[in-house]
Amino acid sequence: MDIPRTGARRRKIIRWTAFTAVVVAVLLAGFLTIPRLKPAAPGVDMSTLWPDTVKRGPMLREVRGLGTLVPEESMLIPATTDGRVQRILIRPGTPVKADSVVMILTSQELDTALLSAEYTLKAAEADYENLKVTLEKSKIDMQATAAQVGADYNTAKLKADRDAALAKEGLFSEVDAKISTVTAEELKGRYELEKQRLAINAQAEEAQLAAQKVKVEQQRADYNLKKSQVDQLRVRAGVEGMLQQLPTPVEEGQKVTAGTPLAKVSQPSKLKAELKIAETQVKDISIGQSASIDTRNGLIEGHVSRIDPSILNGTVTVDVSLKGPLPSAARPDLSVDGTIQLEKLDDVVYVGRPVFGQQDAVVQLFRVEPDGKYANKVKVAFGKSSVNTIEVKDGLQVGDKVILSDMSAYDGYDRIRLN
């Protein structure tokens, strides 16, 4: 016969309760543990990375900047008057001499002014000649008058002497003799006045001629100025050299005003480099420091000759004077790459400069483990920097191998696997 089981239901409830508790405990433990688990180290192809080994020894500090070759000596040719470009005879890149005509300008106003100045000068010269003739005629008339008075005086004096002699002999009236003497004295006075008038007239003649000559010279200077301006419409190079391209070149038919740059002539054999250095790096640059200019066809040695005091677009212009003969490919406006030597650090710990490594900064780099299979993230403090190297202040030891490549894609990982 069947025997009824007692407590089965209760045991079943206990088993289900225990099972549920275990499951809940396991799930809860999983939820609490999973967020704390570190992600698995991602794999990175070692051939795509840029590794370097920390070293100790001398480090040469340098800064680099892009720039161009520019002439040390150049002359800008401006328009001396308003005009219009009629013809351009020589284009940039052509060697020129001092008297080479670069372009021809036209100016109708200047041509008219020159013609007017020419006729005004001729009129002034004619007036001068007319005054000269008039004064010469007046002078001759006065000389004739003086000569006549002088002759009358001599005649009167002879007559007075004769009458006085006859009067002594009683052969002539004493009154008439005295009248002859007075007449002679009167003519003598007139003769002296005429001589003084001739002397004063000579001075007046010189003054009038000088005044008229000043007018002539004034008109001649105005004419020569206008003629010089017309001659300068044929724009000449002025010096021997190479004709250079202007930032805003003029074209045929263009109207220009006085002072407008028309051309530029430079000495292609005397060049310097103008480098654009980042404003954060220029503080260590000083006059006289050695530099090397790479023209892509050879290296040219030089030294820093000038540092621009202003900052433009985050860069400072540094001039480098070049030494020795220039490569055959060197020419104005050639793009170059310049390196300036700042100083030599004798005994420092250094490594290749990482992509995001800046002077006196603290960054995180991946240091390769000795077996070369993994790399761990470490914090590194940098010191002074150069173009390709940077001083290590803390975080790395001599012989450590680090990855210098851009590893920003792995910022969320402290460890990577190297394949």
Domain boundary among 242, 266, 290: 266
The answer to whether residues 247 and 277 belong to one domain is no
Give the CATH number for residue 388.
2.40.30.170
Half-sphere exposure of 169 (CA within 13 A, CB side): 8
User: What is the Cα–Cα distance from 370 to 350, expressed in whole angstroms?
Assistant: 19
Q: Which 3 state secondary structure label does DSSP give 304? A: strand
Residue with tokens 């792995």: 410
Contact assessment for residue 87 and residue 104, using Cβ atoms and an 8 Å cutoff = yes
The answer to whether residues 299 and 368 belong to one domain is yes
Structure tokens at 63: 């800064």
Give 248 or 8, the one with higher predicted confidence: 248
Asked if residue 19 belongs to a domain, the reply is no
The answer to whether residues 286 and 307 belong to one domain is yes
The answer to whether residues 146 and 183 belong to one domain is yes
The answer to whether residues 276 and 325 belong to one domain is yes
User: What is the Cα–Cα distance from 208 to 202, expressed in whole angstroms?
Assistant: 10
Asked if residue 6 belongs to a domain, the reply is no
Contact assessment for residue 71 and residue 245, using Cβ atoms and an 8 Å cutoff = no
Asked if residue 226 belongs to a domain, the reply is yes
Q: Give, in order, the Cα–Cα distances in Å from 196 to each of 37, 188, 192, 205.
A: 131, 13, 6, 14
User: What is the Cα–Cα distance from 288 to 31, expressed in whole angstroms?
Assistant: 67
pLDDT at 3 over 70: no
Query: In the predicted model, what is the mean pLDDT of the chain?
Result: 85
Residue 350 gets the label, from left (phi > 0), alpha (psi -120 to 50) or beta, of: beta
pTM for this prediction:
0.56
In whole angstroms, how large is the CA radius of gyration of the chain? Answer: 53
The answer to whether residues 161 and 91 belong to one domain is no
The answer to whether residues 250 and 159 belong to one domain is no
Task: Place 355 in a pLDDT band, splitting at 50, 70 and 90.
Answer: confident
Would you state the pLDDT for residue 34? 46
The answer to whether residues 279 and 389 belong to one domain is yes
Closest CA to 53 of 388, 305, 368: 368
The answer to whether residues 219 and 244 belong to one domain is no
pLDDT at 24 over 80: no
Contact assessment for residue 109 and residue 82, using Cβ atoms and an 8 Å cutoff = yes
Asked if residue 32 belongs to a domain, the reply is no
The answer to whether residues 102 and 243 belong to one domain is yes
Closest CA to 167 of 156, 179, 153, 154: 179
Task: Place 1 in a pLDDT band, splitting at 50, 70 and 90.
Answer: very low
Q: What is the DSSP letter of 373?
A: S
Q: What are phi and psi of 54, to 5 degrees?
A: -70, 130
Give the CATH number for residue 240.
2.40.50.100
Would you state the pLDDT for residue 37? 46
The percentage of the chain sitting over the pLDDT mark of 70, rounded to a whole number, equals 91
Report, as an integer, the average pLDDT of 162-183.
81
Q: Do strands 255-256 and 315-322 pair parallel, antiparallel, or not at all (unpaired)?
A: unpaired
Domain boundary among 266, 284, 317: 266
Asked if residue 59 belongs to a domain, the reply is yes
* CB neighbour class for 142 (10 Å; exposed up to 12, middle 13-18, buried from 19): middle
User: What is the Cα–Cα distance from 54 to 367, expressed in whole angstroms?
Assistant: 10
Domain boundary among 185, 206, 231: 231
User: What is the Cα–Cα distance from 126 to 212, expressed in whole angstroms?
Assistant: 10
Structure tokens at 226: 């206008």
Asked if residue 17 belongs to a domain, the reply is no
Structure tokens at 318: 């540094």
The answer to whether residues 311 and 392 belong to one domain is yes
| Number of domains present in the structure of the chain | 3
Residues spanned by the domain of 209 = 109-231
Report, as an integer, the average pLDDT of 251-257.
92
Asked if residue 4 belongs to a domain, the reply is no
User: What is the Cα–Cα distance from 277 to 257, expressed in whole angstroms?
Assistant: 37
Asked if residue 15 belongs to a domain, the reply is no
The answer to whether residues 115 and 98 belong to one domain is no
Task: Place 7 in a pLDDT band, splitting at 50, 70 and 90.
Answer: low
Task: Please tell me the total number of residues recorded for the chain in this structure.
Answer: 419
